[in-house]
Amino acid sequence: DSSQKPLSAFFGGS
Amino acid sequence: MLEAKLDAASQLKKIVEAIRDMLGECNIECNETGLALQSLDKSHIVLVSLLLGSDGFSEYRCDRGVTLGLNINSLATVLRCANNDDILTLRSEDRANELILTFEDSKADRISEFNLRLMDIDQEYLAIPETEYAATVVMSAAVLQRTLRDLSALSEAVTIEIDKEGIRFSAEGDLGKGSTHFKPCVDMENAENSINITLSEPVSLSFNLQYFSNITKASSLSSTVTLQMTAGMPAQIEYKLPSGHVRYYFAPKIED
């Protein structure tokens, strides 16, 4: 099954 | 101060309609090169990046940086009071707490003015890395919107596979499954119907269809859309504007 991760899981925040 | 004029209010109306379902409150940064917005949607699945270059305005002046903290739905409400072919002017004084919008019908000698209250918004920013995407597809924006709308009847998610044979959209749900495959093609008569694929390796990613359908509301802004994907990374979806773009970074669904 696939799950939805937020963008911050891929891009670093600042 | 900022003073920016558009020959047709419809230009801004369409942009706001393309982002309003995803964004609540956000900052629009204005400087001498134009207007820019970068904001996450409420659930942090999609990042909206808007650039409106000063060349896209019939008149543009911004002496020093101005931040417009706006509620996008309030902006949409005010813009509804403008006719599509009204001349629209945005104005804000330095450190002012309001954005003044003027809608002008030169033929009817009508001028409407609305003052929209600005807000201090503490906005979260993401650092988007420069990325070489594994696959880039340029296709008709209307065809993408239609394809996703059809598949949303089947499932909440769509899988997009891109290889040298083409781009395939598929969905599977309780009632069954469906897919649409597009081969690369060149349409000489209607260039926007061409499908151009640039590929360094095949890619397959799944996305939530509700968010995707909100993204494709930008279809009224451009006849074509550019989809860029790399395995395991957010997709970049871009609609070009005459001077700028509306770009979405969209987090995929990942296998647990």
Say if B158 is an interface residue toward chain A (CB within 8 Å).
no
Buried b (16+ CB within 10 A) or exposed e, B123-143: eeebebeeeebbbbbbbbbbb
Residue A11 pLDDT greater than 70, yes or no: yes
Residues of A in contact with B233 (CB under 8 A): 10
Residues B57-62 have a mean pLDDT of: 97
Please tell me what DSSP assigns to residue B37. Answer: E
How far apart CA B79 and CA B62 sit, in angstroms, is: 22
Interval B192-251: pLDDT, tens: 999 999 999 999 999 999 999 999 999 999 999 999 999 999 999 999 999 999 999 999
Q: The tokens of B148 are what?
A: 């996703």
Q: Which residues of A touch B128 (CB under 8 A)?
A: 11
**B211: nearest CA partner in chain A:** A4
Select the residue of A1, A5, A13 nearest B251 (Cβ to Cβ): A5
Q: Which tens digit of pLDDT belongs to each residue from B17-28? A: 999 999 999 999
Query: What tens digit of pLDDT does each residue of B138-182 get?
Result: 999 999 999 999 999 999 999 999 999 999 999 999 999 999 999
**Does B251 lie at the interface with A, CB-CB under 8 angstroms?**
yes
pLDDT bin (cut points 50, 70, 90) of residue A13 is low
pLDDT of B128 above 90? no
Residue of chain A nearest B205, judged by CA positions: A2
